[in-house]
Amino acid sequence: MKELMRNLFELQTLEFDETIQSNTGARITTLRAKIPKPVLDHYDRLGDSGKKGVAILRHQVCTGCHLRVPLHVVMELRHGEDVRLCENCRRYLYLQEEPVAPELTLPKSVTKPHRKPLAHAH
């Protein structure tokens, strides 16, 4: 299902992009052939009404309507079990792969500052 959503998102990106390259038409045809007809029909209905058919899910919020999506939907998308629609705007939800943050490590040359012991007054 993740590949289906990547294809659908790429299709939307190509169809809504203002700059058309020489291979754009062929790529759109190829992507449309890979997407099941019921999914494509729903996507096209949204497009015919002037809406994008796919919304990115970011921080548990649909970027199409800006409403919070239930956590179980996020988990289903993360596991790639099924395609999901936003319950509010009916767009397909696309959970992009988040880049893994590199581990933060201090360079070996950085040392802790040396502190003088406090003088105790007697």
DSSP 8-55: HHHHHHHHH-S---TTHHHHHHHHHHHS-HHHHHHHHHHHHTT--SEE
Could you report how far apart the first and last alpha carbons of the chain are, in Å?
74
CATH of span 2-94 = 1.10.287.1490
Domains of the chain, by residue range, sit at 2-94
pLDDT in tens, the chain (122 residues): 789 999 999 999 998 887 767 788 899 999 999 999 999 999 999 999 999 999 999 999 999 999 999 999 999 999 987 899 999 999 999 998 765 555 555 555 555 556 666 666 65
Note the pTM of the prediction, 2 decimals: 0.74
